[in-house]
Structure 1
Amino acid sequence: MNIDQAENNPHSNENLHLAKLSYYDILDTPAENAFDQLTQLAAAIFEVPHAGICFQASEKIFIKSQIGSSFPDESVFYVSAPFITPDGFDIGQIYAAGDQPKAATEKQLSMLKLLADMVIEKLESRIAIRKALRAYDDRLHVLVHDLKNPMTTISLQSELLGRIPGIDERASLIAEKINTQSKRMIDNLEGLLSSARKEAHSFKPKKQKLT
């Protein structure tokens, strides 16, 4: 279902909205220092004591950065700019609020809109970095497996070579060294795979019977 179809179905549109917030990994997560500078800029632009960055899903609000009150009085002074994703979802806002009545200038509102755009750019950049790291991990897994298979064969063949009846001492020593080094390489490759699995949160402990 695309966005145009979802607009005619509020329930489906809300599901897509939640999916978008989950995609950016900002549901039920703590406040982030990465947004604090933008919040401080918003407060400075309007010279007010309250400002914040928040995202919304259904009736729940996720505050990522905040200066001053959590719930400023909108009836005094309150301005905000929405976070619009590249595919058209309004997922939150950056706001500034004051305790005294005042008028916001067009320049100030434009600057607030730029800050909102910077939040979206930050989220998109974070996703791009994660995708790049995931692609790197995938290539690493392929490379490790491509190296591990021939090293396993070398280890087995060198072990068999050392067991050949009548083999001279020098050849047996070389076979033993090849076997030792190949096993060490295999262990190192296994370590790389194990670390990658843990970092990807896909590591599963193996059961082993103790005798």
Structure 2
Amino acid sequence: MPITPALSLRDYGPSRGSHAHDHFQVLIGLRGRLDIEVEGRGAGIGVGQAQVVAPGDRHDFEARGQGSLCLVLDTAHAPWARCAERAAADAPQLHALARYLAHCIGQPQQSALALRQGPALLLEAWRPAPSSAEARRRRIDWQALEAWARARWHEPLAVADLAEVACLSASQFAQRCREEQGVSAMHWLRTLRLAHARELRLGGLSVAETARRTGYRSPSALTAALRR
């Protein structure tokens, strides 16, 4: 199951740690300095600096002296892949937002809305200001596109169909999907279809009816997809 984006505060000490995980991990320094090595590439996260660790990347870390306090976001949101290409960020707006979210974690009941929006706000704060060409690009409403596709599983949907709804050419849509979702357009569509099928099965719907509603050619095809 996809990981739900989660924010937390973590104290790192002198004990050396090492692991990898199957989701993005975003670390933003709030106090001290965290020494981190990602896939053999060394870096440090000081106050106001940040690092994105990509899924599967083994990273070693330790904080000497007085330790290090970081705001940590665990997320599977694909657009973080582009942020992971940069080793670290030193952006005042990112640090200010991280401090605010750290404060919210201390009083979650009063700050529930801020914590829900926090992951998306961090992504916006990390991204560089768009160029004039990027600013002119037509925005894709991925949620609306997802809703459109979910209502049409009985049709043989193709990339061209999605592109038409997004008012883009098929090649433009394919490129934007890779940039913004981190996967090919057909992979995005297959993942969406499978996620809907899994929801229906967890809700108690039979395999045959689930296959019919989500456009699989047979119950056995759906079962094979779920197993994969």
Alignment TM class, shorter chain as reference: under 0.3
Structure having the larger proportion of residues in strand: 2
Q: Structure 1 length as normaliser, TM-score?
A: 0.25
Structure having the larger proportion of residues in helix: 1
Highest RCO, 1 vs 2 (Cα 8 Å, sep ≥ 6): 2
